[in-house]
Amino acid sequence: MLGLGLLVGSFPPLRARWPLGVFLVSMIVGMLVSSLIGESNLAMFATTFAACALAALAPGHLLPLAIAFTAIGGIWMGSISLADPGPLRDRTITTLGAFIGANLGLLFIFGISDFVRNRYTWPSVPTAFRIVAAWVGAISLLMLALLFAPERTFVYFVAKVLFPRWSQLVDATL
């Protein structure tokens, strides 16, 4: 969500209305197709990385690509926003709350970005936003890498030799 907000926030309000509207619609689509696509941490982290990379490398440019990333992010947000099975009223309220909350959250991040950019016209402000986008992108890339990391790495085996009592405790919890 933060990556998408930084991406949308890099555009002026008149141009940002397109990604904001696309996010709203694509989130509905994501809710409708959630049973088909399921949840994918891989796709969500990859989308976040792509959005942050665009926000850091070309802020306020490449609107069609920003719309595409926002649409993909909206679909994934919609797919994870459906409530768990339960009474219909509870599911409806929870799902509606997640939908409204996600859209307000994106609008809030966009609004803060726009406010800061307009209020503080220092040359360092755009650079600061690019750095924040790069950091969020780096975190999502690290999370992507952790998805592919083996459970037991070389460090685990070294620790097992050096600290046998600790490794017994770790093995018991795994």
* DSSP result, the chain: -HHHHHHHHTS-HHHHHHHHHHHHHHHHHHHHTHHHH---HHHHHHHHHHHHHHHHHSTT--HHHHHHHHHHHHHHHHHH-SPPSS-HHHHHHHHHHHHHHHHHHHHHHHHHHHHHHHH---THHHHHHHHHHHHHHHHHHHHHHHHHS-SS-HHHHHHHHH-HHHHHHHHHH-
How does residue 127 score in pLDDT terms, banded at 50, 70 and 90?
very high
The pTM assigned to this predicted structure is 0.78
Res. 115: pLDDT tops 90: yes
Please state, in angstroms and rounded to a whole number, the distance separating the CA atoms of residues 56 and 134.
6
Write the burial class of residue 161 (CB in 10 Å: 0-12 exposed, 13-18 middle, 19+ buried): exposed
Q: Which residue has the tokens 């990385």?
A: 49
pLDDT per residue over 72-113, tens digit each? 999 999 998 887 888 889 889 999 999 999 999 999 999 999
Mean pLDDT of 5-21: 92
> Tell me, what's the pLDDT at 168?
63
Q: State what percent of residues in the chain have pLDDT above 70.
A: 87
Residue 57's pLDDT band (cuts 50, 70, 90): very high
> 70 and 4 in contact (C-beta within 8 Å)?
yes
Residue predicted with more confidence, 131 or 146: 131
pLDDT at 167: 59
pLDDT in tens, 19-43: 999 999 999 999 999 888 877 788 8
